[in-house]
A = this chain, B = another copy of it.
Amino acid sequence: MLFDSLDDIRAFCRDLPAGDARAAASAANRQQNLTKPPGSLGRLEELAIWLAQWQGRESPRLDRVTVTVFAGNHGVAARGVSAYPPAVTEQMVANFTAGGAAINQIAGLAGADLHVVPIELARPTHDFTVAAAMDTDEFLTAVDIGYRTVPEDCDLLAVGEMGIANTTTAAMLCAALLGGGAVRWAGRGTGVDDEGLARKRTAIDAALAFHRGILGNPLAVAPALGGRELAGIAGAVLAARRHHIPVLLDGFVATSAVLPLARLDPGALNHCRAGHVSAEAGHRELLRELGLKALLDLDMRLGEASGAGLAILLARAALVCHAGMATFAEAGVSGTDG
């Protein structure tokens, strides 16, 4: 395994590769000369410069774009925290494979390959209200699986997930690492009713009490209160950093999956952008905590990388403008009067 211990992850996060400041500066300079008022393409300009920075290329490319959806099952589902039965995780993985899910359509439109990575669906994590969700080895195995999914020649990676009950897990990680209790982080997920929401809050607060000795410790919290698909996402995001691949994060669950990395190193997510902000209550709050500004805000709350997949379209728009627009000199367009 790549990471034989939690300390290996800690060490990896202390030595993360930086972006390429020179490529970023060159891209920013080109943006200034394109036929538009400086800054008028807003976040498209920022995206082009970010792609340049993390790919290390003044002219970034998006020839190979990958969407990876990790799936896992959760012991806490037994607490009645979701509107859907746990069997839906595996059924939706089959739907991804058959091409019938939203992310199949979105990835196809965005010109991205879709990888689906179920991690031990037959072995849900333990119910974290009464035990550790995973032991260290189980966690490291899932991180390792995620790390190894990332193709080194990928130009942009979008990560998402599928796992019945995993908005409870996401809220759990946030509550354990950022405070505020269940009331701050628990939302309706796939559409749980009032009673289900109450059960979700009860489960989270019970787990906060049970695990009170590890709260605030990212590498203790991630195994004990996380999930296999979340660990897979964290592994993939680390691999992307190592291989100079920019990353688009999906919604609340995918963002919570990398929260432990950000708590280990405040710059750990510099190669990531939030593809969207979901309608799930805690996501906006989590993005604020992480200093991430979402690219899209479309009231979506589906997961499966659907928001990050849409954001690929914006990255492509940023790229075609960056590469294809004429400069003022080329087009014979006058600059400002000033």
CB pair B317–A106 under 8 Å, yes or no, is yes
**Which B residues are CB-close (under 8 A) to A43?**
298-300
- Cβ of A209 under 8 Å from chain B: no
Interface residues of A in 267-313 (CB under 8 A from B): 279, 295-302, 306, 310, 313
**Which B residues are CB-close (under 8 A) to A326?**
95, 98-101
Interface of A, helix, strand, loop or mixed by DSSP:
loop
Contact with B along A312-337 (1 / 0, CB 8 A): 01101100110111100011111111
What's the Cα separation between A170 and B333 when bound, in Å?
A: 23
What's the Cα separation between A40 and B338 when bound, in Å?
A: 49
Contact with B along A90-125 (1 / 0, CB 8 A): 011011001111101110110000000000000000
**Given the interface contacts A40-B300, A314-B298, does A333 sit within 8 Å of B88 by beta carbon?**
yes
CB pair B105–A331 under 8 Å, yes or no, is no
**Which B residues are CB-close (under 8 A) to A36?**
101-102, 302
Residue on B with the closest CB to A313? B313
**Which B residues are CB-close (under 8 A) to A301?**
37, 39-40, 42
CB pair A336–B83 under 8 Å, yes or no, is yes
- Cβ of A12 under 8 Å from chain B: no
Q: How far is the CB of A146 from chain B (nearest CB, A)?
A: 24
What's the Cα separation between A182 and B301 when bound, in Å?
A: 40
Q: How far is the CB of A106 from chain B (nearest CB, A)?
A: 6
Contact of A337 among B40, B84, B279 (CB under 8 A): B84
- Cβ of A78 under 8 Å from chain B: no
Contact of A88 among B42, B100, B325, B334 (CB under 8 A): B334
Contact with B along A152-164 (1 / 0, CB 8 A): 0000000000000
Contact of A42 among B83, B101, B300, B337 (CB under 8 A): B300
Contact with B along A59-91 (1 / 0, CB 8 A): 000000000000000000000001111011001
CB pair B106–A306 under 8 Å, yes or no, is no
- Cβ of A41 under 8 Å from chain B: yes
**Which B residues are CB-close (under 8 A) to A92?**
35, 333
CB pair B193–A320 under 8 Å, yes or no, is no
Top 3 A-B pairs, shortest CB-CB distance: A100-B326, A42-B299, A105-B320
